[in-house]
Structures are given as C-alpha cells and as structure tokens.
Amino acid sequence: MTDITLIGPGAIGSTLAAWLSQNPDHRVTVAVRTPFDSIVLNAPGGILSASPHLLTDPAQARPADWVLVATKAYDSAAAARWFEKGVGPQTRLAVIQNGVEHVERFASYVDAGRIVPVMIDCPATRHSPGRVTQGGPVHIVVPAGVNGAAFVGLFAGLNLDVRETPDFITAIWKKLCLNSAGAVSTALLAPAGISHHAAVADLMRDIVRECIAVGRARGAVLGDEIAGEIVDRMRSGPRDAANSMLADRRAGRPMEIDARNGVIVRYGREHGIPTPMNALMVAMLEAVDQCS
C-alpha cells in the first residue's frame, strides 16, 4: 500500500486525487481547507468517484510515502504547514505547480534530493469543492531518474499520460512560454479570442520571445518558432477559453504573476537579457492585484 497525501484539491489536485484513488493499492489523503464528502470527476471517458480520507488540521497529518503539492505557486508556504507531521525522512515531495522554480520553493523545507518537480497540462475546471470536470487528456512530465520513475509508477494503469524526460528544464520553460503569453488575456480581461487581434498577437509573441531568450540562458533548448506556435494554438482553440490566471482575476483571487512572468524578468535581469514586455505585464497585473 502506498500512502499519498495531496495538498491543494483545486481543479488539478482534485483531478489527480480522483485518478489516484482508482488504484486499490493507493491510500489517498487530501489536505483541505473546506471539507467535502467525495470527489466526483467528469472525465472524458466517464464519471470517476472517489472518497479519499480528508484532513483539515496539519497537526493530524502523518508521514506519507508521497506528498503531492498542487497549490498555486503563491500558496507554497501555506502548503508547507502540512510538512511538519506529513513529511517523514523517506517521504518524496512532488511539486505540481506553474513556473520553473518548483524545487527552489520547497528546498528550505524538504531535502532537494527528494523533491520531484512536475510539469502538468491538465484542462480541468472545479465547479465546487470535490466537483470537477476534466476537459481533455492530462499530460504530465517529470525529470528522468529514480524519483521520476517512482512518480510515474504511481499512475500505472491509469488513463493519464505520465512520463519522464531527460531534459526537464526544456519542458518547463516551454510550458512557461505558453503561460507567459496568457498575461495579456489576464490584463485585458479577455479570453483567448483576443489573440485574433493583430497587435495583441504581436505583443504575445514578444512576451514569448523574451521567455525563450531567458530560458535559453537557463539551459533550455527552445526554438524561435515557439512564439508563433503559441499564438496559433490560441487562435485555433475556443475563443472563450480562459487561462487559469484570467480565471483567478475574474474570481477576485490572487494571481500567479511572479511564477508566470515575474520569474522571466528576474532571471532576465540576472543574465542581462531585456524583458520589457514581461515587465510591463508584471507592473500592470501587480497594480490590479493591489487595487482589488
């Protein structure tokens, strides 16, 4: 039996908890703020139901084999409140968050050798606590190695694409390229259809080009064509599609500004790479965040 504790049962966390609970060899515990009776996931192949054990008090946690953090990046310190009781000397920590600083956010709490950074593409929407719709296939990538292979093994037999890669840094920076462009929709309070506006599309491409330049300086292998591909992807999808940062702004929640665009500015400064368009997005969204 593998003990798994999941922290952050939002759209992505609830989706993963529902799938992991389908394996009878897993004992799944979910750390929650608001209790719910069960998880019901409307997945592409049908309805999945799960009744994981719920914890509302960090003092009640016990060491697990795996702790999966699926909170927003800015909630990392809050997630770490569960570590004192929930992380033992053999516990491995999977960080399922946006950005490129998965290990850095938690290295002061858990030995870096036991942290598995996770890149996820999971189109999911949470309607209420424990009620989630998975809108399409889930793709998950982790660094190749012993810990990565063990993480992949947690999902064996489940209908999710979970794999290792020897070049994880490229995978997460490529995902950041996509996420960084979403700042424009968030700033304009407009869904993906805004990318059909020529000047907006140019701005998105410039934001991604800055991300590409900084990512290359950090060791990622990123082609120039990514900027155009991302805009094309937005234009080919539903016009009303909203990225998670736009959804957060609409709901009056904090936004992952630093994890998505601020990190590009910070690392750009470190490497002497200008990032004016990302800096503009950061300034605008931080002003909105502070005034809301």
Distance in angstroms (rounded) separating the CA atoms of residues 184 and 174: 18
Do residues 39 and 12 lie in contact, with contact meaning Cβ atoms separated by under 8 Å?
no
Structure tokens at 12: 């992505």
**What pLDDT score was predicted for residue 289?**
76
> How many other C-beta atoms lie within 10 A of the C-beta of residue 36?
16
174 assigned to active site: no
Strand order in the sheet with 39-43: 46-50, 39-43, 131-134, 124-128
Distance in angstroms (rounded) separating the CA atoms of residues 114 and 93: 6
Q: Which helix (H) or strand (E) holds 53?
A: strand 53-55
Domains defined for the chain, CATH in brackets: 2-165 (3.40.50.720), 168-291 (1.10.1040.10)
> How many other C-beta atoms lie within 10 A of the C-beta of residue 201?
21
For the chain, the C-alpha Rg in angstroms (whole number) is 19
Place of tokens 């490129």: 100
**What pLDDT score was predicted for residue 292?**
65
CA distances from 225 to 79, 230, 231, 271 (A): 37, 9, 10, 22
Backbone dihedral angles phi then psi of residue 164, each to the nearest 5 degrees: -95, 160
Would you give per-residue pLDDT tens digits along the chain (292 residues)?
Answer: 999 999 999 999 999 999 999 999 999 999 998 889 899 999 999 999 999 999 999 999 999 999 999 999 999 999 999 999 999 999 999 999 999 999 999 999 999 999 999 999 999 999 999 999 999 999 999 999 999 999 999 999 999 999 999 999 999 999 999 999 999 999 999 999 999 999 999 999 999 999 999 999 999 999 999 999 999 999 999 999 999 999 999 999 999 999 999 999 999 999 999 999 999 999 999 998 777 6
Distance in angstroms (rounded) separating the CA atoms of residues 173 and 123: 19
Candidates 72, 85, 174, 175; catalytic one: 175
Burial class, 66, CB count within 10 angstroms (exposed 0-12 / middle 13-18 / buried 19+):
buried
